[in-house]
Structures are given as structure tokens and as C-alpha cells.
A = this chain, B = another copy of it.
Amino acid sequence: MTGPFPQRVDAFSALPKYYQLKDILLRKIEDGDWQPEESIPSERELEEIYGVSRTTIRKALDILVSKGYLYREHGRGTFVAFPRLQQSLHTLTSFTEDMRRRGMEPGQRILMVDCIQPSRRIRQALSLRSDIELVLRVERLRLGNDEPVGIHDVYLPLCDKDPITADELARSGSLYALLQAKYNLTVADADESLESTVADEREAELLHISQGSPLLLIERISRLESGRPIEFVRMLYRADRYKYYVHLSRDTP
């Protein structure tokens, strides 16, 4: 609890007012000061309370609505939503981040790092025009707490500049971090497809399971802010060690 006085918005903070306000309101929701299905103060009241304009209030509320913490009803008010078990989890993460979030220590065994000639499938996924352009292929066994969890097969259109070496990758661990550090490339979003499959002989051996065991197959095309494809990955996960979570919302046109 922070006392009976509302936390203030600091005009001189480096953070925007709407962002500070979002955090203040979020705190109230998570602390239970406002209960689910209860209405929060109206936008005009919030203007008074925090001494910022209604535009700024609404920008803060927009964020909390989009994250599912609040919902609005036209002519009635703004209300606290029931808490979700896992708040908005359709976020793009690296395997490293993903494992940490699941409470496991990420690890890897590099199986291959090489420049290869891309198949038609890879070229199409990466929007490569010429079939002579080489792509970097990185195949890794992925570990969680030193046990095999999955196999990642990554293709990157990065063989012209000085390509990533197995050594760099081993030191860094996270490919996304390496792309950022070495080429100043920031992955912004991705499309994924998921399907179910079963392990063949090699996969079974690598993953320490028996042939025919169920695997989750995920294919991902990652993109830069501009939408330019920067990565194609095939990921195979042991069904008993990996579940995938998504948050979906209904289209509101």
C-alpha cells in the first residue's frame, strides 16, 4: 500500500506521463484496490486526480485495455477485468528467454554451422530472389537444465558479410542477442506455424526418446521492423517437455 494519497505523475520524469500513469493504475489493479467488475473513476475524474489531460488518461487506459486488465462500456464506465492466468503471452521470445521464463536453465549443443545453398522452401520463406545467394544454416540441440528439449534448425540470409561462427554462437548462446550485437539487427515480429509430428531415428537419438514419440513442430519466419525476413527456423520439441501458449483476441472491426 502506498498510503491514502494517489501516487503522482512526474512531469520531469524521463518516462512519458501516460506510461507512468499506466503503471500507477496497473499497481492499483494488481494490489486489488479495485476489484474485478468494479468500475474505476471516470476519465474526467482521473483528469482531476492526476492533473493530466484526458488524452493522456485515455492513452494510459488504452494500454491497460489492450492488455486485458480493463474493459470499457460505452455510456457506463471503465471496469476491472478478471485476472488472466498468464497475461498476454503471444510475445516473440528467444529460446533463452523462453526457458528462463519457464524456470529452466537454457543450454545448447551446436550440431552444425555452415553456409549452404538454400532449398526452394527456404528461399521462399526468406524472400530471396536469386538461387545463388548462400544462407547460413545453424543446427542446434536445445537443452533445459541440461536435458534435451528440442532441435532448432535456423536459416539466415547472412553469408555475404562475415558470417557468424560456431565459436561466437557458443559464447553468446542467444542468436537474437548476437544478431543485435554483430549486425545491429533487431527482430520485431514473426509468423509461426505449429503442427504435430513424430520422431524419426536421428531425432529420437538426439532427444533421448524413442522413435515415433510425439513432437511439436514449429516453423517460424522472423522479420525486422520493416517486415524484411531475417530468419527461418524449424523447431522440433519433445511433447513431454514443451507446451506452447498463446493469447488470442476476437477481431473488433
User: Interface residues, chain A, CB within 8 Å of chain B?
Assistant: 36-37, 55, 68, 71, 79, 81-86, 89-92, 127, 186-198, 212, 214-217, 221, 223, 225-229, 237, 239, 242-251
Alpha-carbon gap, A92 to B245, bound state (A): 14
Residue of B223, B225, B239 near A197 (CB, 8 A) is B239
Residue of B83, B217, B244 near A193 (CB, 8 A) is B244
A192 with B246, Cβ < 8 A, contacts A127-B82, A212-B212, A239-B197 known:
yes
Alpha-carbon gap, A127 to B183, bound state (A): 47
Say whether B216 contacts A194, CB under 8 Å: yes
Chain B residues in 8 Å Cβ range of A79: 226
For this complex, 9 residue pairs linking A to B, each with C-beta atoms less than 8 Å apart, are A71-B188, A71-B225, A82-B229, A84-B191, A84-B227, A91-B251, A189-B248, A191-B248, A193-B244
Alpha-carbon gap, A215 to B196, bound state (A): 6
Chain B residues in 8 Å Cβ range of A227: 36, 68, 71, 81-84
Q: How far is the CB of A47 from chain B (nearest CB, A)?
A: 17
A197 with B196, Cβ < 8 A, contacts A249-B92, A250-B189 known:
yes
A195 with B223, Cβ < 8 A, contacts A91-B251, A189-B247 known:
no
Alpha-carbon gap, A247 to B195, bound state (A): 15
The 3 closest A-B pairs by CB, nearest first: A82-B227, A81-B227, A92-B248
A248 with B195, Cβ < 8 A, contacts A82-B127, A226-B82, A227-B83 known:
no
Say whether B92 contacts A239, CB under 8 Å: no
A191 with B239, Cβ < 8 A, contacts A37-B226, A212-B212, A214-B198 known:
no
Say whether B90 contacts A90, CB under 8 Å: yes
Alpha-carbon gap, A228 to B71, bound state (A): 12
Residue of B187, B216, B249 near A188 (CB, 8 A) is B249
Chain B residues in 8 Å Cβ range of A245: 191-194
